[in-house]
């Protein structure tokens, strides 16, 4: 199952602004709606990977990764 996230977007003059509800700090601004959605996907991927690596580093050797479902 692929995780799903919620983008909140709006147009402000010539710009499109957007945020991902579930992950603080994931936001973008682009000139078109399609560019905005592509940027949000990229920033979300990068944030999730950064958070994952940071958690593994903090946990240290011998940690275990488990999938959680809601």
Q: What's the confidence (pLDDT) of residue 57?
A: 96
| Cα 43 to the center of its chain, rounded Å | 5
Give φ, ψ of 21 to 5 degrees: -55, -45
Q: What's the confidence (pLDDT) of residue 2?
A: 83
Q: What's the confidence (pLDDT) of residue 9?
A: 98
Residue extents of the structural domains in the chain? 7-50
**Integer Cα distance of 23 and 14 in angstroms:** 25
Q: What's the confidence (pLDDT) of residue 68?
A: 87
Q: What's the confidence (pLDDT) of residue 69?
A: 84
Q: What's the confidence (pLDDT) of residue 1?
A: 72
Show contacts of 45-51: CB within 8 Å, 24+ apart: 47/23, 48/23
Q: What is the mean pLDDT of each run of 10 residues along the chain (70 residues)?
A: 92 98 97 98 98 96 91
């Amino acid at each position: 199952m692929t995780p799903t996230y919620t983008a909140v977007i709006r147009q402000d003059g010539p710009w499109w602004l957007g945020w991902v509800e579930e992950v603080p700090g994931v936001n973008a601004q682009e000139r078109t709606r399609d560019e905005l959605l592509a940027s949000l996907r990229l920033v979300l991927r990068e944030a999730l990977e950064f958070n994952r690596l940071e958690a593994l580093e903090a946990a240290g050797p011998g940690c275990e990764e488990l999938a959680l479902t809601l």
